[in-house]
């Protein structure tokens, strides 16, 4: 009987054990139904990185992302091919990098009483970059300008300038950095006393690529100083060339010929007996009543009697010319400004000027004539003739092909 009771107790314990295991299993199932389901695959609509598109725009890192500045290529190791430039009219020659761009026609900076002989830059759009209120230089920028200064103009005020000898001539050089050199970061200005005919001012500006790291800025400035050193070593000042004899034009009635450019949309008339300069282009044309005076006429030589000269240029509209002292008029139905009969008059030279604002370009006409050293009545008659010629040219100006 005791065995029977023990057997019943064993079966009862076994039953209770089974019921307990079943209860735990049900509780486990209930708890499992309340917890998030683990995803074994990328949900529909997510990116390949498992991030919902909307979350990729909202999420922000806890710590700022540290961006390492991109190292700027060091230009100091780039070989430079040099181009030698000579201007015997003004008695100076120099060298400049062969791959630089001429920006003289659009260069906005001028020096009173000086002639801009050359303006070149490492970037083709340098004038546009420098004219921006907050200029940005993706590739850096280097600019060189060369001026011939007439002898009556006083030398510039170069503070803390260092004396230097250039091609046997006395000069002074000044270097500026930081805010004083803006918009460049480093600038050098050289003034050369020159001959009795001209003095010279060379300006050299340099700025590294915007956003360059410290190594890039240092390397670019070292490259600039290397270029400037070679330019200084290549300057030569020549003696004043003699004044060539110029034949007096024969008097007679003026006949006219029309010149034009379909690309720049202009046409106007010039005397048919005038000569056009050999280096003429559609946007830069030069005419002279005497063949050998088609180019620049030496300032120190007396202007020959009867000489007339016209320089014509086309400029983009964004480069606003200096219209100070000019009279507003209308030419070919467009706004224009003229300095007619009020130009600078000396003992042997009179000049006129006009700017015409076209639909796409500025058109500049500069006209000069030399009445010579004759009697007053002769001079007045020739000046009147010059005025008539200039008025005819302006009156013949037309837009379009």
Enclosing domain of residue 114: 75-237
Residues with Cβ < 8 Å from 89, sequence gap 6 or more? 241, 295, 296, 297, 298
Domain stops at, among 178, 202, 237: 237
- Tell whether 289 and 394 lie within a shared domain: yes
Number of domains in the chain: 2
Please name which of 182, 126, 117, 185 lies closest in space to residue 150, comparing C-alpha atoms: 117
- Tell whether 278 and 371 lie within a shared domain: yes
Domain stops at, among 237, 272, 298: 237
For the stretch 277-313, what's the b/e string if a residue is b when 16 or more beta carbons lie within 10 angstroms of its beta carbon? beeeeebebbbbbbeebbeebbeebebbbbbbbbbbb
> Which residue in this structure is represented by tokens 């009635």?
253
- Tell whether 296 and 365 lie within a shared domain: yes
- Tell whether 85 and 209 lie within a shared domain: yes
Domain stops at, among 204, 237, 270: 237
Q: What is the pLDDT along the chain (401 residues), one digit of tens a residue?
A: 445 444 445 544 444 444 444 444 444 433 333 333 333 333 333 222 222 222 222 222 222 333 333 333 444 445 678 988 887 778 889 999 999 999 987 787 777 778 889 999 999 999 888 888 888 899 999 999 999 888 777 777 777 888 999 988 889 999 999 888 888 999 999 999 877 778 899 999 999 999 899 999 999 999 999 999 999 999 998 876 667 666 666 666 789 999 999 999 999 999 998 888 776 788 889 898 877 554 555 656 666 667 888 989 999 988 888 898 899 999 999 999 998 654 444 445 678 889 999 999 999 999 888 776 656 777 778 888 888 899 999 999 999 86
- On whether residue 2 sits in a domain, the answer given is no
Q: How far is C-alpha 342 from the chain's CA centre? A: 32
The CA distance from 108 to 113, in Å, is: 15
pTM: 0.50
- Tell whether 302 and 337 lie within a shared domain: yes
- Tell whether 289 and 191 lie within a shared domain: no
The enclosing domain of 112 has a CATH number of 2.60.120.1690
- Tell whether 97 and 215 lie within a shared domain: yes
- Tell whether 162 and 263 lie within a shared domain: no
């Amino acid at each position: 009987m005791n065995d029977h009771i023990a057997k019943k107790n064993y079966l009862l314990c076994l039953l209770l054990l089974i019921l307990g295991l079943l209860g735990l299993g049900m509780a486990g199932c209930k708890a499992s139904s309340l917890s998030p389901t683990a995803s074994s695959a990328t949900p529909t609509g997510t990116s390949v990185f498992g991030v919902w598109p909307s979350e990729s725009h909202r999420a922000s890192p806890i710590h700022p992302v540290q961006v390492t500045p991109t190292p700027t290529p060091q230009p100091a190791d780039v070989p430079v091919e040099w181009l030698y430039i000579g201007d015997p009219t003004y008695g100076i020659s120099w060298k400049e990098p062969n791959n630089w761009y001429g920006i003289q026609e659009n260069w906005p900076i001028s020096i009173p009483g000086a002639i801009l002989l050359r303006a070149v830059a490492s970037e083709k759009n340098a004038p546009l970059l420098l004219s921006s209120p907050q200029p940005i230089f993706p590739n850096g920028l280097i600019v060189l300008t060369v001026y011939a200064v007439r002898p009556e103009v006083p030398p510039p005020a170069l503070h803390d300038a260092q004396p230097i000898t250039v091609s046997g001539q006395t000069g002074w050089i000044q270097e500026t950095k930081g805010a004083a050199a803006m918009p460049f970061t480093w600038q050098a200005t050289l003034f050369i006393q020159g001959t009795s005919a001209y003095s010279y001012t060379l300006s050299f500006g340099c700025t590294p690529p915007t956003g360059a790291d410290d190594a890039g800025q240092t390397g670019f400035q070292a490259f600039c100083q290397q270029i400037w050193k070679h330019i200084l070593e290549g300057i030569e000042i020549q003696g004043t060339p003699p004044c060539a004899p110029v034949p007096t034009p024969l008097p007679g009635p003026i006949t006219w010929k029309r010149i034009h450019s379909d690309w720049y949309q202009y046409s106007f008339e010039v005397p048919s007996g005038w000569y056009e300069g050999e280096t003429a282009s559609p946007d830069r044309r030069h005419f002279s009543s005497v063949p050998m005076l088609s180019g620049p006429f030496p300032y120190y030589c007396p202007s020959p009697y009867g000489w007339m000269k016209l320089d014509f240029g086309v400029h983009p509209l964004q480069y606003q010319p200096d219209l100070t002292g000019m009279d507003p008029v209308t030419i070919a139905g467009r706004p224009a400004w003229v300095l007619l009969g009020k130009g600078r008059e000396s003992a042997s030279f009179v000049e006129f000027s006009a700017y015409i604002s076209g639909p796409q370009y500025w058109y500049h006409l500069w006209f000069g004539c030399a009445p010579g050293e004759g009697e007053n009545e002769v001079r007045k008659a020739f000046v009147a003739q010059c005025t008539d010629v200039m008025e005819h040219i302006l009156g013949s100006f037309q837009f379009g092909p």
